[in-house]
Structure 1
Amino acid sequence: MKYLFVFFLCLMNLLFLASCAKSPTGRNQLKLYSNSQLAGMGEQAFDSMKAEQTVSSKPMSNLYVQCIADAITQHVPKSVFAGEWELVVFDDPQVNAFALPGGKIGVYTGLMEVATNQEQLAAVIGHEVGHVIAEHGNERMSSNALINIGMEVTNQLLQTNQIATSNLIMAGLGLGVQVGVQLPFGRTHETEADLIGLELMARGGFDPRESMTLWENMAKASGDNRQPELLSTHPLPATRISNLSNNMDNAMLFYNAATIKPNCS
């Protein structure tokens, strides 16, 4: 127990000292990497994916997704990315999409079976771009780096003091960090990206109320094949819908003020 306390004390001190940034929602953030470093990593990862995965050759699908992405990304602050965003539709049945630093967006064709209209797809793309705006990738990499340092320091301390149960203690620390730090951290990121994406889609002229329908569709598509929220990096669909509903009034103000309502379909 003493070593568990020492580990978390060291870890919290490191996180406190390094947490000097704020997320778009006002949350303290730890960011150890520069924007140029993250953009370079994003470009490399995107190039690898394009080389390894099948890119859709269907013009109508590409134009449809591009139209939605263009309406979303024009509302991204230039401080996040000032260039032209690159969009690729991957011909793959997985229900997924992503955005990467450096202005990269990927959408899988399987997502369009669940996001059944332009508003629902806008909610997903807005969410993924929200991760980039909030620099969640930087934050995850930074926190993992400090966690690894803390784990290594604790392991060296145990070995130096020849603690017989050092392996058991390290295993317990690993589980504690996962359930107590990393998983809640992931859920926080997902919730934050949901809210940023909600505003982005509304500013882009897409009805934000459809974001809740999207998560109803997601819940149906996944069935009962879900872990308890405590053991997951993502909030349950019902939690997402509740959070979106609580922020809908503000989103509707942006939607009603939008001068252009896209007709991408």
Structure 2
Amino acid sequence: MKKIISLVVVLLFLVSCSTVPITGRQRFNMVSDAEVLPTSFAQYEGFLKENKLSSDAKMTKEVQDVGLRISKAVDQFMRANNMVAEANSYRWEFNLIEDETVNAWCMPGGKVVFYTGILPICQNTDGIAAVMGHEVAHAFAKHGQERMSSSYLQQIGGAVVAAGTANKTAQSKELWNMAYGIGSQLGMLSYSRTHETEADKLGMVFMIMAGYKPEEAVNVWIRMSQRADASQAPPEFLSTHPSNQTRIKDLKDYLPTAKALAKKYSMQ
């Protein structure tokens, strides 16, 4: 039984691998758009009904204008690179929520939320573009679908552990499951950091393609690191995001590459 499950895992991995455009990273995705997008769109609508939209018309328009410019650049890239079907699947939408939480997110299919609490960190239009590019990049690279696929694979892995420990004592089996759970959780955390780093890089490329200043992406994370509660962040090893200092260094290092890639793809 254990061998059969292991073989299934290997086969699923092989047939579900693809390449993230621009970065070239190999990803594992066994969740189709048809499976995830209807739920994503419905959950987004539900969220908007349960949360207060910002009454600041000027800031709302600025967030939406930036989102439209960046999503247009992404759409043009996809259509120029034989990704027409994918481009057609996105339903881009950008909303500003009245909430002091310092956050923004994007659901599969291009549904974006900014919280008013992140605007002081953004500070200006280019800062908004830096955060927007990052969030749009998550949707573009299908990080949500990939995370779902990884969770599914983790469940299958749990079945392998169960099969492999069937003849062990109850105490031994519990220890094995504890070890698997801890190890798999840390693996998932690391995987999330991979997504965050990739979104930082793609987001920088996209904001340049849309006509914004990429240097502001670095400044956003400098301001983030200066937040009063930044020192309370968990160690990077146990964090789902890279540390602020790591992001600042990585973005500075990637800036020349991002400019070159944006120039290359803008000429298509």
- Scaled to the shorter chain, the TM-score interval is 0.7 to 0.9
Q: TM-score, with normalisation over the residues of structure 2?
A: 0.86
User: Corresponding residue for 1:99?
Assistant: 106
Distance 2:215 2:11 in 1: 40
C-alpha change, 1:165 and 1:131, in structure 2 (3 Å) is same
Please give the TM-score of this superposition, normalised by the length of structure 1.
0.87
- The residue that corresponds to 2:30 in the other structure is 32
Q: Which residue of 2 aligns with 1:129?
A: 136
Which ranges of structure 2 fall in alignment gaps of 5 or more residues?
none
Among residues 197, 205, 215, which one is paired with 1:209 in the alignment? Answer: 215
**Contact 2:206–2:262 (CA<8 Å) still a contact in 1?**
no
Which structure: greater helix fraction?
Answer: 2
Residues 244, 186 of structure 1: alpha-carbon distance in 2 compared, 3 angstrom cutoff: same
Report the Cα distance in structure 2 between the residues aligned to 1:26 and 1:258, rounded to whole angstroms: 15
Between the aligned partners of 1:120 and 1:142, the Cα distance in structure 2 is 32
One-letter code aligned to 1:171: M
User: Structure 1, residues 135-158: CA drift from partner, whole Å, max 9, x if none?
Assistant: 111111101101111112312432
Letter in 1 for 2:137: G
TM superposition outliers: structure 1 runs of 4+ over 4 Å:
9-12, 160-163, 253-259
Tell me the CA shift for residue 117 of structure 1: 0.7
**SS class of match (1:125):** helix
Identify the residue that residue 247 of structure 1 maps to in structure 2: 254
Q: Percent identity?
A: 33
Aligned to 1:17: 14
Q: Which residue of 1 aligns with 2:173?
A: 166
Contact residue 94 and residue 112 of structure 2 kept, 8 A: yes
Q: How far 1:254 moved relative to its partner?
A: 6.4
- Residue 71 and residue 216 in structure 1: after superposition, are their counterparts in 2 closer, same or farther (change >3 A)? same
Q: Distance in 2 between matches of 1:249 and 1:186?
A: 25
How far apart are residue 55 of structure 1 and its match?
Answer: 1.1
| Offset at residue 84 of structure 1 (A) | 5.3
Q: Which of residues 59, 62, 77 is equivalent to 1:61?
A: 59
- The answer for unaligned runs of 5 or more in structure 1 is 260-265
